[in-house]
Amino acid sequence: MHFFTFHLSLFTFHSSHFLMIDYHCHLLPNLDDGPDHIDDSVAMAAALRDAGFKTVYCTPHLIKGSFEESNQTVRSSVSELQARLHAENIDLEVLPGREYYLDEYLLDYLKDPMTMGETQYVMIEIPGHAQAEFVKETLFRIKCSRLVPIIAHPERCGLLAIPQKQETSSWLRFSKPKHKIPGAKPYEPSLLDYLKDLGCAFQGNLGSFAGWYGPEVLKSAKYLQQKNIYTHFGTDAHSPRGIKRLPAEILQTLSST
């Protein structure tokens, strides 16, 4: 069976049809490393519509010193693009969001958060060089503020990679012993376990399952899928080519599910 037959979280159920939603897309023009012009955004939107998507969350990067457009600029850009799509009869709903970079500036930015549409989700990208304890503390504080972190493409994050084999017995690795055992290492949940228990959501890139980011990312994506980690999916597209490159069998499966 195909991967996507197990994950209907990619869809919104409405009127007896499954509507495909892209939860991560760099669709807005001239805000980050996505399209430079609104005409390119329209071409991307048409490609998404042709691929079967009905709703797209626009998630431009917010990275201190690189991409720092205001939330109001993002909202205005979404409104302008939606008006253009209506004028060109491109049936695609676009909603605002951001892809926040997890660093020392993140909590300041989230004092005025840009959530994913009308939800409480905020999309967070965890850099591979981040310290696990800093990640835990930051995301705990975000969760305490009643926001829900949705972790962007965890399969591409080294901190959330497939766990390596350990020397301890399997039951010690996958259970929490109630009593101390002489010579046994204490149970230490992984960062992935911690974030899942914290209530974070996890967004997988469709291209990861097509092998776009290499065999290790593909392996991690399959592992996370097997562990039922993913709650959302997205193209993470930056151009029309990034959408048109999606394997036909993936889109056919989505359309027929």
Residue 26 covered by a domain? yes
Compute CA 26 distance to the chain's CA centroid, rounded to the nearest angstrom. 12
Residues near 140 by beta carbon (within 8 Å), at least 6 away in sequence:
198
Residue 90 in any domain: the answer is yes
DSSP conformation class of 89: T
Q: Read off the CATH number of the domain in which 130 is found.
A: 3.20.20.140
Does 68 map to a domain? yes
Beta-carbon count within 10 A of 174 CB: 8
Angle between helices 38-51 and 71-87 (to 10 degrees): 60
Our count of domains for the chain comes to: 1
Q: Does residue 2 fall inside a structural domain? A: no
Q: For residue 8, what pLDDT is reported?
A: 35
pTM to 2 decimals?
0.83
Q: Helix H segments across 70-186?
A: 71-87, 106-109, 132-144, 170-173
- Domain membership flag for residue 4: no
Q: Each residue's pLDDT tens digit in the chain (257 positions)? A: 344 433 434 433 333 234 589 999 999 999 999 999 999 999 999 999 999 999 999 999 999 999 999 999 999 999 999 999 999 999 999 999 999 999 999 999 999 999 999 999 999 999 989 999 999 999 999 999 999 999 999 999 999 977 654 444 444 444 454 444 454 455 457 999 999 999 999 999 999 999 999 999 999 999 999 999 999 999 999 999 989 888 877 665 445 44
> Does residue 146 lie within any of the structural domains?
yes
3 lies in a domain?
Answer: no
- Give the model confidence (pLDDT) of 132-157 as tens digits: 999 999 999 999 999 999 999 999 99
Structural domain span for residue 185:
9-256
Q: Is position 17 within any domain?
A: yes
